């Protein structure tokens, strides 16, 4: 029969147990908590303590013309190799133009756009395969491009600008039709297992549009998509694309996470923290990461982690990294983060 604990030993044990309860559900021999990927990301979303900052990164695979199985395979290979905490699934499949057209080139072609029930069937197939293979070990989000950007790709920036100038009512009708298609895709993505969407917004930038004009002509089409998934997903990300964003508009969007380029905009994470109360995702220099010296990358990781104090923060680039980036760089990033 063991001896009774002394008062000193009892108090010491109580202190250890109290520390363990606040550090996380599992404790390593070193006393440092060890979270799973889902637990770590969920804690970041809630603003709770994490064992280390969660991280992610992504790039385009160039597989938009191949079956969904190929996209799923490339995505899962990327996930397994670089061990990201949050998987951002690329979605580069082109939006289907009206039947019989390869591209919208005439004003009357715009009137043929109608909402589609399943605009990206191969992408949905890929998401289901990704979800099946992940087995709940990590959260993933589906990339959706804003309707303004989709409309430009269906025609051209010049043609869309002319439509907006000559027929603003039809312009908004076009964006609304595309947004309704994107809503249908977002719902299918959630049904396929996605934790949320990653909405890429590129037109809400001073180099592209006037802020007041964007509120009048573009904001509604973004919100149609975001409001549709607002209460149905835990991890909706707004990707702020551009170097001079319309911050006053974008920080009001109903999302849990905002991703932007701190290096491209020249605005630090702590500055945006004062504007946006959700979780920030960024801190890494997507423009230079491929050629950075190891110490430069380490400095970026350290500076971002320090600025955010590991609270409501997911370390990532401000946009996709170069498609030909060396695997060595991303493996180094993974190592740096795991030691942070």
Whether the pLDDT of residue 178 is over 50: the answer is yes
Give helix 168-191 / helix 157-166 axis angle, nearest 10°: 120
CATH number for domain 36-338, candidates 3.20.20.10, 3.10.20.340, 3.20.20.210, 3.90.180.10: 3.20.20.210
User: Which of 242, 232, 257 lies closest to 88, judged by CA?
Assistant: 257
As a whole number, the mean pLDDT across the chain is: 91
Torsion 92-93-95-100 (CA) sign: positive
- With 0-12 / 13-18 / 19 or more C-beta atoms within 10 angstroms meaning exposed / middle / buried, residue 238 is buried
Would you say 284 and 317 are in contact if contact means Cβ atoms under 8 Å apart?
yes
pLDDT at 31: 40
Cα–Cα distance, 75 to 57 (Å, whole number): 12
Cα–Cα distance, 60 to 54 (Å, whole number): 21
pLDDT per position as a tens digit, 267-308:
999 999 999 999 999 999 999 999 999 999 999 999 999 999
165, two tokens:
């100038």
Domain boundaries in the chain? Answer: 1-34, 36-338
pLDDT at 7: 52
pLDDT at 310: 86
Cα–Cα distance, 96 to 108 (Å, whole number): 17
Annotate 193-205 with b (16+ C-beta within 10 A) or e (fewer). Answer: bbbbbbbbbbbbb
pLDDT at 28: 40
pLDDT per position as a tens digit, 164-176:
999 999 999 999 9
133, two tokens:
């293979």
Confidence of residue 33 (pLDDT cuts 50, 70, 90): low
**Number of alpha carbons in the 13 Å side-chain half-sphere of residue 239:** 24
Lowest mean pLDDT among 20-24, 133-137, 289-293: 20-24
Mean pLDDT of 165-190: 98
What is the distance of C-alpha 157 from the center of its chain?
25
Query: How close are the terminal C-alpha atoms of the chain, in Å?
Result: 44
Mean pLDDT of 32-60: 93
Mean pLDDT of 118-133: 98
Cα–Cα distance, 281 to 256 (Å, whole number): 10
Mean pLDDT of 231-259: 97
Lowest mean pLDDT among 98-112, 115-129, 209-223: 98-112
pLDDT at 51: 95
pLDDT per position as a tens digit, 313-333:
999 999 999 999 999 999 999
pLDDT at 3: 42
For the chain, the residue count is 340
Whether the pLDDT of residue 131 is over 70: the answer is yes
What is the distance of C-alpha 162 from the center of its chain?
31
Mean pLDDT of 1-23: 43
pLDDT at 12: 44
Strand 279-284: give its sheet, edge to edge.
86-89, 139-145, 196-201, 237-240, 257-259, 279-284, 313-317
Beta strands in the chain (DSSP E): 86-89, 139-145, 196-201, 237-240, 257-259, 279-284, 313-317
Whether the pLDDT of residue 22 is over 50: the answer is no
**Number of alpha carbons in the 13 Å side-chain half-sphere of residue 162:** 11
Whether the pLDDT of residue 76 is over 60: the answer is yes
């Amino acid at each position: 029969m063991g001896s009774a604990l002394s008062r000193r030993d009892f108090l010491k044990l109580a202190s250890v147990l109290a520390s363990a309860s606040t550090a996380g559900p599992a404790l390593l021999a070193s006393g440092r908590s060890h979270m799973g990927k889902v637990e770590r990301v969920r804690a970041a979303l809630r603003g709770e303590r994490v064992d280390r900052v969660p991280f992610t990164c992504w790039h385009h695979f160039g597989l938009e013309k191949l079956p969904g199985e190929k996209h799923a395979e490339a995505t899962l290979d990327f996930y397994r190799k670089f061990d990201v905490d949050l998987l951002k699934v690329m979605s580069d499949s082109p939006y289907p133009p009206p039947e019989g057209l390869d591209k919208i080139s005439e004003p009357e072609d715009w009137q043929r756009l109608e909402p589609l029930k399943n605009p990206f069937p191969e992408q949905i197939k890929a998401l289901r395969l990704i979800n099946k293979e992940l087995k709940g070990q990590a959260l993933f989000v589906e990339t959706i491009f804003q309707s303004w950007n989709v409309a430009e790709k269906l025609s051209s920036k010049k043609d869309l600008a002319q439509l907006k100038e000559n027929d603003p009512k039809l312009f908004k009708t076009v964006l609304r039709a595309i947004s309704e298609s994107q809503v249908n895709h977002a719902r299918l993505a959630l049904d396929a297992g996605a934790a949320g969407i990653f909405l890429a917004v590129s037109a809400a930038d001073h180099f592209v549009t006037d802020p007041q004009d964007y509120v009048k002509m573009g904001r509604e089409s973004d919100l149609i998509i975001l409001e549709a998934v607002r209460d149905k997903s835990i991890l909706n990300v707004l990707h702020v694309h551009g170097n001079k964003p319309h911050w006053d508009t974008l920080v009001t969007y109903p999302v849990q996470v905002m991703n932007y380029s701190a290096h491209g905009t020249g605005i630090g994470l702590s500055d945006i923290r004062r504007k946006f109360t959700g979780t920030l995702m960024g801190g890494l220099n997507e423009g230079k990461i491929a050629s950075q010296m190891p110490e430069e990358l380490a400095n970026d990781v350290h500076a971002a982690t320090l600025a955010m104090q590991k609270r409501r923060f997911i370390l990532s680039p401000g946009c996709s990294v170069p498609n030909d980036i060396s695997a060595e760089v991303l493996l180094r990033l993974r190592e740096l983060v795991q030691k942070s």
